[in-house]
Structure 1
């Protein structure tokens, strides 16, 4: 379907400049938010499960089941820019109609955690290099902007579907261009990429789970702490 020119222009503007418009997100925040929630809300981030509680979370960095082998998040809660979170809810609606759903492994990531990851694995193919100038972040991950998400698929019961590798597998098998492996897992990876792309999430080549939201360049790098568990 082709949108009328005036609507298409507005859609393009909103896609590339989401962080120039910080909407009222108070309805998506906790009734009595703590200081961490308040800071994230003022920055334009929302809790994804507040928009759609059917989205499953498996936030690995709140556990020791991750490539660092230690807990680096104070909770397993997922926050994104409101525009990205709304698009993710639309992805979930698309998948729900197919009897499937999303599981999220990582969402917004503080810049300080990015530095921890770089110290553990200084490989730009898998970890965005954190750079500061004058104590201010100037380069890092799209996760630090609240505009990237790591995701997989689950069935109607919440059971994870086979994917090419486990999350955070830093091998050639995790690449979208890998031609070997389980055909079912490869098909699941392609389906995930297709439904994410419909809502403006772009994959990267080295990790089947990672998606960047259109408009990330307009969003600043953040080092706001994540809140504790509810």
Structure 2
């Protein structure tokens, strides 16, 4: 009986220790070596960060973080360029083609974002719900997220949406109901056509779309100037 009690006590003690021992945190891997990045492309061409405007000449750009017209109110990018992983750009190319047939097009606000920029955003953002936590990194850092809207091809003007880009208001949410019928129609149309090509809207930002296979790509901290 005593032996049985002892065995039970030892088992219970080991179980308790196992339950209270903290799981070691997985180290965040961020690729900041251009050589390592080139090697990754050699092993898998899909790892390439493709310049969106070069791949889709008809697409419109408004790279806000290369200006002071952004929530940070300061220039964050040295160059007004937009990049994304090869499969993401292929999806955007198909979306743009389908939109063009209807008289619309895409306007890109942001694509790949170097990790160091995400760190700066998190330090200075007044509302942390609208910026990625550097502890996990952003899908923008993986080259697998794009911020965008729709434009009318004839006028070049943006279609009405619930909020401006990078708004921190509740109306920025993808399913927010209290918006004009026109804004809701345009927003839902954009969400639908993006999803058709495996680009999924972020719940609290109607303009932000994540590539379905983002988990296959590393966080990156290569500046635009090197790409």
TM-score (norm 2): 0.78
Match of 1:37 in 2: none
Q: Does 1:107 align with 2:111?
A: yes
RMSD between aligned alpha carbons? 1.8
Q: Is this contact kept in 2: 1:151–1:210, CA < 8 A?
A: yes
**Where does the alignment leave 5 or more consecutive residues of structure 1 unmatched?**
1-18, 25-42, 132-138
Where does 1:169-188 land on structure 2 (aligned, <5 Å)? 169-188=167-186
Write the distance in 1 (CA, Å) between the matches of 2:197 and 2:129. 25
Given the superposition, is the C-alpha separation of residues 120 and 22 from structure 1 closer, same or farther in structure 2, using an over 3 Å criterion? Answer: same
**Where does the alignment leave 5 or more consecutive residues of structure 2 unmatched?**
1-40
Q: Is this contact kept in 1: 2:165–2:207, CA < 8 A?
A: yes
Q: How many residues align?
A: 185
Write the distance in 1 (CA, Å) between the matches of 2:110 and 2:128. 18
Q: Does 1:23 align with 2:45?
A: yes
Q: CA shift at 1:217, angstroms? A: 0.5
1:164-222 CA distances to partner (integer Å, 9 max, x unpaired)? 10000011011122111221011111011111011100111100000000110110000
Match of 2:68 in 1: 64
Write the distance in 2 (CA, Å) between the matches of 1:142 and 1:173. 22
Q: Is this contact kept in 2: 1:20–1:218, CA < 8 A?
A: no
Q: CA shift at 1:123, angstroms? A: 4.3
Given the superposition, is the C-alpha separation of residues 227 and 206 from structure 1 closer, same or farther in structure 2, using an over 3 Å criterion? Answer: same
Write the distance in 2 (CA, Å) between the matches of 1:129 and 1:96. 36
TM-score (norm 1): 0.77
Among 142, 157, 163, the alignment partner of 2:139 is 142
Q: Does 1:54 align with 2:31?
A: no
Q: Does 1:155 align with 2:152?
A: yes
- Which structure features the higher share of helix residues? 2
Q: Does 1:44 align with 2:48?
A: yes
Write the distance in 1 (CA, Å) between the matches of 2:200 and 2:113. 18
Q: Is this contact kept in 2: 1:118–1:129, CA < 8 A?
A: yes
Write the distance in 2 (CA, Å) between the matches of 1:72 and 1:124. 18
Write the distance in 2 (CA, Å) between the matches of 1:21 and 1:159. 41
Find runs of 4+ consecutive structure 1 residues off by over 3 angstroms.
Answer: none
Q: Is this contact kept in 1: 2:199–2:212, CA < 8 A?
A: yes
Q: Is this contact kept in 1: 2:118–2:138, CA < 8 A?
A: yes
Q: Which has the larger radius of gyration?
A: 2
Q: Is this contact kept in 2: 1:122–1:129, CA < 8 A?
A: no
Write the distance in 2 (CA, Å) between the matches of 1:22 and 1:66. 34
Write the distance in 2 (CA, Å) between the matches of 1:181 and 1:82. 35
Q: CA shift at 1:143, angstroms? A: 0.2
Given the superposition, is the C-alpha separation of residues 190 and 52 from structure 1 closer, same or farther in structure 2, using an over 3 Å criterion? Answer: same
Q: CA shift at 1:20, angstroms? A: 10
